[in-house]
C-alpha cells in the first residue's frame, strides 16, 4: 500500500495549474477520543486514485498552508457508525467545533474563497448550517439568512418541499430576507444526496437570487449529491469515503 | 411592544440592534409577541455589533467553552467562540447528537422537553458561557446550565440578545449571572 504522504506529494507535483476547485479526499477512520496526527496516520484503501489535489493560482507555500489546514480539519471530524440508523456512517463535526484553531481554519478557508466575490447573502440550512454560515457571513459582510424546518420562522415565508429516503420534508425562508439579483452562497455542514441543498437553491432562485455556489465542510461523493445539483457549483473542504 | 436597551446606557450599537429586531404578534400562537432576530441578521453591521458587544465582555475572562442552545443559539454562539478562542458546544434537542450524551429534562407550559450535550465536550472546571437569542421563562437556560455543571464546568454567565423580563427568567436562574443587550416589554 502506498503511504499517504508520498502519494500526496506525487499528486501535488503532477497537478495541472489554474484549476479553481480545491478538494481533498481523506478516508476517515476515526473513533471518539482518537486524535492521532493528521496525514501520516491515515490509510487509504483505494490507492492513488482516491487522493485528489488540484493546484489553483496559489503560490506553493500558500497551497501547503491550505492543505495543512484541511488535513488538520479532517483529523478533527469524528465518524460514528450506525447513526442515526444501522448502516449509516455519520460524519460528526461537533468534534471539529471543540478545536478552536480547526474551527477558525474552516471558516477562514470559506472566507478566503468568497470575500471578493460580491456575495451579499449567506443562506444556512438548519441546524448545522447555522454554525458555519454566520461566521462566514460576518467575515465577508453579507446577510445571514436561515433556511428552516416548517413553522419555525414567524411572518411570511415561502416553502419548498423535498424528498427524503422515506417521505418528504419542507424548508422555509422569509420572503423579505433577500432581493432579486442578490448573489448568494448556501452553506451546510455536509452534502450527501443533495436533496436539502437542491431545495435551498430552489427557494432562493424562486425569488430571483443568484446562487453562486453551495459550500459544505464535507461531501459524501458516493451519494452523488454533486450530480443532483446539476450545473450549480459545489465547494467542499473534505470528501469522505 | 417596545424594546429598550438593557441598562439605560445609550451605547449607539445597542440602539441600532434593538431597532432591527422585528416583533411578530400572535406567533407561534395567539397572545405571544414573538421577538424575531432574523431581521437583525440581515443587517451585517448590526449583527457584527451584536457579536462584538459579547466578545468585548468575555474575551479576557478565560472562557474555554461557549455552549449554544439549538437552534438560534447556534447563530450567535459560534462567532463569539471563534473570536474569544473558545470551543463551541451545541446543546441539542433529543436524538440529534450522535455518540454518548447526557440529557436534562425541563418543563414547558404544557409537558416537558429535553436538552442534550455530548459526553466529553467539556472538561472539569472549564469556564463556560451559555448563549441563546432570547430568555423568556428561563427553562431552557436552566437546563443548559445544569447540563454544563453536571459535566463539571463552571458556568460564568448566560448571555442572550433579548430578555422578556415579565416572564421572570432571571429568577429561575437562581443567581447565575445573566447578561442581555435589549429588554422586550
Whole-angstrom distance, CA of residue B62 vs CA of residue A204: 41
**What pLDDT does residue A222 have?**
94
Find the range with the poorest average confidence among A10-19, A173-182, A207-216, B2-11.
A10-19
Instruction: Let me know if B109 is a catalytic residue.
Output: yes
What is the grid cell recorded at A203? 427557494
Confidence check: pLDDT of A195 > 90: yes
Q: Compute the count of residue pairs across chains A and B with CB atoms less than 8 Å apart.
A: 108
Q: Touching check for B138 and chain A: CB below 8 Å? A: no
Structure-model confidence comparison of residues A25 and B122, the more confident one: B122
- Digit-by-digit pLDDT tens for chain B (185 residues) are 445 445 545 689 999 999 999 999 999 999 999 999 999 999 999 999 999 999 999 999 999 999 999 999 999 999 999 999 999 999 999 999 999 999 999 998 778 999 999 999 999 999 999 999 999 999 999 999 999 999 999 999 999 999 999 999 999 998 999 999 999 98
**What pLDDT does residue A126 have?**
97
Whole-number average pLDDT of chain A: 80
Q: Which of A138, A145, A153, A218 to mutate to test the interface with B (most CBs of B within 10 A)?
A: A138
**What pLDDT does residue A62 have?**
67
Residues in chain B with CB shorter than 8 Å from the CB of A143 are 41-44
pLDDT confidence band for A99 (50 / 70 / 90)? very high
Structure-model confidence comparison of residues A52 and B161, the more confident one: B161
**What pLDDT does residue A91 have?**
97
Residues in chain B with CB shorter than 8 Å from the CB of A155 are 22, 24, 27, 36
Residue corresponding to grid cell 448502516: A87
Query: How far does the CA of residue B7 sit from the closest CA of chain A (Å)?
Result: 26
Residues in chain B: 185
DSSP H helices in chain A: 4-13, 38-41, 60-76, 94-97, 100-114, 129-140, 195-206, 225-228
Confidence check: pLDDT of A92 > 50: yes
Burial of A60 (0-12, 13-18, 19+ CB in 10 A): exposed
Q: Which of A22, A24, A113, A128 is catalytic?
A: A128
Residues A222-237 pLDDT 10s = 999 999 998 999 999 9
Residues A131-143 pLDDT 10s = 999 999 999 999 9
Confidence check: pLDDT of A146 > 50: yes
Instruction: Let me know if B100 is a catalytic residue.
Output: no
Confidence check: pLDDT of A26 > 50: no
Query: How far does the CA of residue A169 sit from the closest CA of chain B (Å)?
Result: 16
Q: Could you say which residues from 81 to 120 on chain A have a Cβ atom under 8 Å away from some Cβ of chain B?
A: 83-84, 90, 92, 94, 97-100, 103-104, 107
Q: Dihedral (C-alpha) B144, B77, B39, B56: value to the nearest 10 degrees?
A: 120
**What pLDDT does residue A43 have?**
32
Confidence check: pLDDT of A14 > 90: no
**What pLDDT does residue A53 have?**
35
Q: Touching check for B48 and chain A: CB below 8 Å? A: yes
pLDDT confidence band for A16 (50 / 70 / 90)? very low
Mean per-residue pLDDT for A54-73? 73
Residue corresponding to grid cell 457584527: B48
The answer to whether the CB atoms of A32 and B100 lie below 8 A apart is yes
Dump strand ranges (E) for chain B: 3-5, 22-25, 33-36, 65-69, 87-91, 101-107, 112-118, 127-135, 154-163, 178-184
Q: Dihedral (C-alpha) B103, B173, B3, B107: value to the nearest 10 degrees?
A: 40
The answer to whether the CB atoms of B47 and A152 lie below 8 A apart is no
Which helix or strand (DSSP H or E) is residue A159 part of?
Answer: strand A157-163
Residues in chain B with CB shorter than 8 Å from the CB of A138 are 44, 47-48, 51, 79
The answer to whether the CB atoms of A126 and B71 lie below 8 A apart is yes
From residue A7, how far is each of A25, A60, A144 by CA, in Å?
A: 12, 17, 39
Q: Are B138 and B171 in contact (CB under 8 A)?
A: yes
Whole-angstrom distance, CA of residue B53 vs CA of residue B11: 10
The answer to whether the CB atoms of A154 and B47 lie below 8 A apart is no
The answer to whether the CB atoms of B98 and A174 lie below 8 A apart is no
Chain B residue with CA closest to A136: the answer is B79
Residues in chain A with CB shorter than 8 Å from the CB of B72 are 130
Amino acid at each position: 500500500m502506498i503511504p499517504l504522504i508520498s502519494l500526496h506529494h506525487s499528486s501535488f507535483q503532477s497537478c495541472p495549474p489554474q484549476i479553481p476547485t480545491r478538494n481533498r479526499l481523506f478516508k476517515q477512520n476515526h473513533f471518539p477520543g482518537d486524535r492521532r496526527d493528521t496525514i501520516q496516520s491515515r490509510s487509504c484503501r483505494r490507492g492513488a486514485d482516491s487522493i485528489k489535489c488540484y493546484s489553483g493560482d496559489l503560490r506553493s507555500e500558500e497551497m501547503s498552508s491550505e492543505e495543512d489546514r484541511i488535513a488538520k480539519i479532517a483529523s478533527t471530524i469524528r465518524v460514528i457508525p450506525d447513526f442515526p440508523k444501522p448502516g449509516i456512517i455519520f460524519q460528526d463535526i461537533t468534534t471539529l467545533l471543540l478545536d478552536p484553531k480547526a474551527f477558525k481554519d474552516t471558516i477562514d478557508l470559506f472566507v478566503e474563497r468568497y470575500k471578493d466575490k460580491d456575495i451579499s447573502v449567506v443562506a444556512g440550512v438548519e441546524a448545522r448550517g447555522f454554525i458555519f454560515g454566520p461566521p462566514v457571513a460576518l467575515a465577508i459582510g453579507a446577510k445571514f439568512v436561515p433556511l428552516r424546518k416548517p413553522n419555525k420562522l414567524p411572518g411570511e415565508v415561502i416553502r419548498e418541499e423535498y424528498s427524503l429516503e422515506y417521505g418528504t420534508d419542507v424548508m422555509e425562508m422569509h420572503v423579505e430576507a433577500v432581493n432579486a439579483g442578490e448573489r448568494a452562497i448556501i452553506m451546510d455542514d455536509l452534502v450527501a444526496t443533495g436533496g436539502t441543498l437542491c431545495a435551498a437553491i430552489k427557494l432562493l432562485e424562486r425569488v430571483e437570487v443568484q446562487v453562486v455556489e453551495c459550500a459544505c465542510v464535507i461531501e459524501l461523493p458516493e451519494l452523488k449529491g454533486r450530480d443532483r445539483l446539476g450545473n450549480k457549483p459545489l465547494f467542499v473542504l473534505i470528501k469522505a469515503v | 411592544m417596545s424594546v429598550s436597551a438593557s441598562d439605560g446606557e445609550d451605547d449607539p450599537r445597542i440602539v441600532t440592534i434593538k431597532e432591527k429586531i422585528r416583533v411578530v404578534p400572535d406567533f407561534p400562537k395567539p397572545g405571544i409577541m414573538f421577538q424575531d432576530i432574523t431581521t437583525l441578521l440581515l443587517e451585517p453591521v448590526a449583527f457584527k455589533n451584536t457579536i462584538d458587544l459579547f466578545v468585548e465582555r468575555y474575551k479576557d475572562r478565560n472562557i474555554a467553552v461557549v455552549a449554544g442552545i439549538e437552534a438560534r443559539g447556534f447563530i450567535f454562539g459560534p462567532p463569539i467562540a471563534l473570536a474569544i478562542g473558545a470551543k463551541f458546544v451545541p446543546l441539542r434537542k433529543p436524538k440529534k447528537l450522535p455518540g454518548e450524551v447526557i440529557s436534562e429534562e425541563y418543563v414547558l407550559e404544557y409537558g416537558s422537553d429535553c436538552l442534550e450535550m455530548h459526553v466529553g465536550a467539556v472538561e472539569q472546571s472549564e469556564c463556560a458561557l451559555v448563549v441563546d437569542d432570547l430568555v423568556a421563562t428561563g427553562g431552557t437556560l436552566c437546563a443548559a446550565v445544569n447540563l454544563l455543571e453536571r459535566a463539571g464546568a463552571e458556568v460564568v454567565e448566560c448571555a442572550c440578545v433579548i430578555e422578556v423580563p415579565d416572564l421572570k427568567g432571571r429568577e429561575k436562574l437562581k443567581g447565575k449571572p445573566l447578561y442581555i443587550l435589549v429588554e422586550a416589554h
